[in-house]
Structure 1
Amino acid sequence: MAAKLKLQLKSVERRRHMRVDVKLLGRYMLADRREFPCQTVNMSPGGLAIDAPVRGDIGERVVIYLDQLGRVEGRIARHTERGFAIQMTMPLSKREKIANQLTWLLNRDALGGAENRSHERIIPLRLRSILRIDGDHEHIVQLIDVSISGAAVATTAKPALGTKLKLGQTDSEVVRHFEGGLAVRFDKLIPIERFDENIKL
């Protein structure tokens, strides 16, 4: 167990400085609880820079909610010409989740087609799920994000495109492979009343 955790830590640390130019809209809250809109400039599993109308103080705690990524938090490390950059203060599990999501975003332009979901994506609180292939082959996977029409999962399994499977209890179909995982399309849209961070597939 200790060896596995050590490998996970090394994996996250290797990707900690993987800075990606990515444009995500969101909102941020300063320490005085004022909220403002923002847009990311670039991001890594250890920090991000945003365009922001109001800068906080260096060292000030900031909470940011980003489309497709959800909540991140940290402290302002430096001011930029159009905003500021933060250093994230989050546990290993959250940094690993962000690293996986950045991998997804890097591959997003190459995905195209039906699985290029226009629906809002969320990161569920229950990250672990089970992928069932052919009814009896099971793989423990980590959810990267979920929309009402599909999901991206981190897994080493590579079932062929078009393979029918279950993600948790949800009937799905493999629509694309990407580095470190795959994208599935649900056979039926998830009812909107079930679609929040507490969702269990």
Structure 2
Amino acid sequence: MYSFQATQNSKTTPAATPRAFQRVTVNLQGRLMLASQDEYVCSVVDMSPGDARLACAGRPRTHERIIAYIDHLGRLEGTVLKLTDDGFVMSLVATERKREKLAAQLTWIANKHELGLPEDRRHDRLTPRQTLTELTLDDGRRYPCRLMDLSLSGAAVDIDFRPAIGTAVRLGSMRGRIIRHFLEGVAIEFTTLQSREALTEFL
């Protein structure tokens, strides 16, 4: 089973040495904004809690600030370290707590097949801009959560509370049920297929 191990002192600061961690190969879709405010579709090719290699049609300058919204991971921010043939490598600006969370998320992504977590989403994932929302139970209890990814048929949310599988919930105004627990939170299947218009509050 994959697990991140620091190759040097793992005590991080917001400007930690990017190569303090080894990268893991991933295939995560998203979009990013350059300093010019131009937006591009992108994909993360490999990544560690300290840096990431992205494939993207946009060609930033070295040291340029990048803001990216990546499926499963949410917002990432950093600066360009170097350009590659199909994109660039960026360092990630994050607190120690954020890096620990990224390490946990990347470990889950790297191990999902070994852990038996199927890729069962039937519709394309959308990258939410608005990630902070609430999960509401039938009895009215509300729990703050963060959208990790979203599709017309369901969502994955980062949340400390774990409702039982099968529990009816409401995510914003969308009704659904809990279908899976994973390291960072829960997966929700919506009761009815949503339209893109219904998801506009998050996109």
Please report the TM-score for the alignment, with normalisation by the length of structure 1.
0.64
1:69 and 1:123 in contact (8 A); partners too? no
Q: Which residue does the alignment assign to 2:157?
A: 153
Write the distance in 2 (CA, Å) between the matches of 1:72 and 1:42: 14
1:152 and 1:182 in contact (8 A); partners too? yes
2:70 and 2:127 in contact (8 A); partners too? no
Give CA-to-partner distance per residue, 1:61-99, whole Å, 9 cap, x none.
Answer: 55667566677554321355765311245x76xx68x83
Which of the residues 82, 86, 91 maps onto 1:87?
91
Q: How does 1:29-178 map to 2 (within 5 A)?
A: 39-51=43-55, 57-61=61-65, 74-79=78-83, 84-88=88-92, 99=102, 102=106, 105-106=109-110, 108-109=112-113, 110-112=116-118, 116-178=120-182
Gaps of 5+ in 2: 1-11
1:117 and 1:149 in contact (8 A); partners too? yes
Change (3 A) 1:120 1:169: same
1:101 and 1:144 in contact (8 A); partners too? no
> CA RMSD for the aligned pairs?
4.0
Please report the TM-score for the alignment, with normalisation by the length of structure 2.
0.63
Q: CA deviation at 1:169?
A: 2.7
Does the alignment pair 1:199 with 2:202? Answer: yes
Write the distance in 2 (CA, Å) between the matches of 1:35 and 1:129: 24
Write the distance in 2 (CA, Å) between the matches of 1:179 and 1:193: 30
Q: CA deviation at 1:178?
A: 0.3
The count of aligned residue pairs is 181
Residue identity over aligned pairs, in percent, reads 35
Give CA-to-partner distance per residue, 1:140-187, whole Å, 9 cap, x none.
Answer: 222211111111111122222212222233211111100120101000
SS at match of 1:23: strand
